[in-house]
Amino acid sequence: MTSRFSFYDFLGYIIPGAILLLAVVYWAESVLEFDLVTVGSISGVGQTTLFLIVAYLVGHLMQAFGRRFEVRETERWGGYFSVQFLRPDDTFYTDDFKGKLLDAIHATFGLAPLADPPDDEARDRRLQEMFAICYTYVIQRGIAQHAEVHNATYGFFRGSLVLWLSVIVLFFLAELRHASIAVASALDYNQTPIDDVKWHLVIAGAAVLLATFTLPLLRDRFAHFGRRFVDAVYRSFYAFVSSARVDREP
């Protein structure tokens, strides 16, 4: 465990967690009329540090929930990309490169795809093992920087899926409440300033519409960086072992 935050910690945990905290603060103040600590009141090293720690913890919870969404997304993709790319019928890599990659994995670790797997699940488990050992290898050799950037971005979009869905739910509830207040104000049932209600209606409505219409784009970016992360691991591994083999040749 490192003694400092990694890029993944910042992008995958802190940023989604901080944004969700701010959304919850606005929701609690505008819907529940409960005064929480606002961003403007956070000052000093101590309060800022506390906010970041809470955001970091919230980000971990978001990633935990995000894993559940990831499982559903991988079913839509046809399985994890780390497994897909090594399947015989997959076309992401050419047959020539795929064969050389599998040969390099076998020569380095003694691992190869199951020759006669009893079922697809057993085949995919072996392919996932091969990816996991390649990822461990590039990390140990210090050549995973490019892959780690994509992994952090992949984690960011995983957390953002939870963030987007939370925003849709929270601000839809806010929209319902302020719409009911607006109706009551129009009928003189309460004394809430109608201008304030309209302002909250606009903000909540815009948030719900924006989150709803951009959710498919978010899911697309999530899949995109999933592919790039896996591709970076395999290519980093292959490039390193191939160049090492060339260096050893007389």
Contact 84, 92 (CB under 8 A): yes
> What are the residue ranges of helices labelled H in the chain?
7-8, 15-30, 44-77, 81-84, 95-109, 120-140, 145-186, 194-248
**Cα(67)–Cα(62) distance, rounded to whole angstroms?**
9
List for the chain the helix, strand, coil content (%; round to 5).
80, 0, 20
CB 175: neighbour CB atoms within 10 A? 21
- pLDDT score for 229: 97
Domain segments of the chain as ranges: 7-248
pLDDT for 33 equals: 65
> b/e per residue, 31-50, with b = 16+ CB within 10 A?
beeeeeeeeeeeeeeeeeee
% of residues, the chain, pLDDT over 90: 57
d(CA 34, CA 36): 6
CA 147/CA 162 separation, integer angstroms: 23
40-49, 134-143, 202-211: range with highest mean pLDDT: 134-143
User: Where does the pLDDT of residue 1 fall: very low under 50, low under 70, confident under 90, or very high at 90 and above?
Assistant: very low
- 10-28 b/e (C-beta count within 10 Å ≥ 16 → b): ebbbbbbbbbbbebebbbe
Closest CA to 74 of 128, 8, 11: 128
Most confident among 35-39, 114-118, 181-185, 220-224 (mean pLDDT): 220-224
Average pLDDT over residues 217-242: 96
Give the model's confidence band at 174: pLDDT under 50 very low, under 70 low, under 90 confident, else very high: confident
The whole-model pTM stands at 0.84
pLDDT on residue 188: 63
Lowest model confidence (mean pLDDT) among 57-61, 93-97, 241-245: 241-245
DSSP class of residue 4? S
Q: By mean pLDDT, which of 19-33, 82-96, 125-139, 213-227 is the weakest?
A: 19-33
pLDDT tens digits, residue range 78-124?
A: 999 999 999 999 999 999 999 999 999 999 999 999 988 889 999 99
Q: Which CA distances in Å does 214 have to 15, 116, 207?
A: 18, 44, 11
Question: How confident is the prediction for the chain on average, in pLDDT?
Answer: 85
Q: How many CB atoms lie within 10 A of CB 156?
A: 22
- Give the pLDDT of residue 3: 47
Dist CA 73 CA 217 (whole Å): 13
Both tokens of 234, joined, read 């395999």
